[in-house]
Structure formats: C-alpha cells, structure tokens
Amino acid sequence: MKIVAINGNPRAENGYTNILLNSFIQGMMDAEADVGLFYTQHLDIKPCNCGQMYCWYNKSGECYHTDDLRILYPKLKEADILVLATPVYIPLPDTMQNLLNRLCPFIEPYKSKEEEVLVFAGEITPLDWALSGLT
Ligand SMILES: Cc1cc2nc3c(=O)[nH]c(=O)nc-3n(C[C@H](O)[C@H](O)[C@H](O)COP(=O)(O)O)c2cc1C
C-alpha cells in the first residue's frame, strides 16, 4: 500500500505535529506500507493564482505552475492513502492551504448543458468539500 504523508507545519521537523505524524508513520511502516513523507515548508508550492482555472479549461488536470508540486502530483495520484498533518493556524498554515488549493487539477469538471451548473466527478478531496458549497 502506498501512502503519502504531508506535514504542513511551518516548523517542519519541530513541534507536536511532527511527533504525532512520525508515530503514525511508524505504525504504517510496521504494517509494511510504503510511506513517502513530505514537508510543505521545504517545498516550493505557489498559491493557486493563475486566475483562469487553467487546470480545468486550458489543460484539464494540469496545473499552470511549474514548482515542486510537479514532483508531488504523480505521487499523490499513485497513493492509496493521503495523510495531511497540520497544526491549527487560523485555520491553516499558508503552505498547507496552498497545497489544498492546488489539488484542483485532480477534480474533473464538466458543464451540464441542461442545468448550466458545474458538476464535479472523481475522488473526494478536501477541495471537493470546500467547492461543494459553490455549486
Ligand atoms: C500563527 C499561529 C496561529 C495559531 N492559531 C490557532 C488557532 O486559531 N486555534 C488554535 O486552537 N490554536 C492555534 N495555534 C496554536 C497551534 O495550533 C499549536 O501551538 C500547535 O501545537 C502548533 O503545532 P506544532 O507544535 O506542531 O508546531 C496557533 C499557533 C500559531 C503559531
């Protein structure tokens, strides 16, 4: 089983988040899972700011930016489980928020001609939940 674990704490390897996540990862490794650990603080994750929904309307499924998520996107696609660990920071640290926003390419949109509303297909992500309020 492939697992991607992401620590979204600006303090990265320091803090309670890392202690909790490491303990969780140890349990998953004991169960012989293949775990990849990433720290958003050590990655270049640009904000979702192309302003045109490029990943939906220009090149479906492909993000406009060429930053470290180009490396992470394929790993997220392959993963059976995604673990997101973050401290509560009014509500989220910026790099973790950027990561969540940048999951947009994983949502496959299409427009229903009859109803003229956006319909989302694909797997449930935190972003699905966030965007469901807009439909
Ligand atoms: C900038 C900042 C904002 C925070 N905002 C909140 C908050 O809104 N609600 C809350 O319960 N705790 C908040 N906290 C407390 C952190 O969630 C808490 O200290 C947490 O243990 C930090 O995680 P860490 O030890 O892994 O760094 C905030 C801490 C910081 C530094």
For residue range 43-58, list pLDDT tens digits in order.
999 999 999 999 999 9
* Residue (of 43, 32, 49) closest to 10 by Cα position: 43
Protein residue closest via CA to atom 19 of ligand 1? 87
What pTM did the predictor assign? 0.83
Residue 19 CA to residue 115 CA, distance in Å, equals 48
Residue 83 CA to residue 60 CA, distance in Å, equals 25
CA-derived radius of gyration, the chain: 16
pLDDT at residue 27 in the model: 97
Which one of 3.30.365.10, 3.40.50.360, 1.10.260.40, 3.40.720.10 gives the CATH number of domain 2-108?
Answer: 3.40.50.360
Residues 78-86 have a mean pLDDT of: 96
Give the binding-site residues of ligand 1, using a 6 Å CB cut-off. 9, 11, 15-17, 87-90
Per-domain residue ranges of the chain: 2-108
pLDDT at residue 107 in the model: 85
pLDDT at residue 120 in the model: 45
Protein residue closest via CA to atom 12 of ligand 1? 88
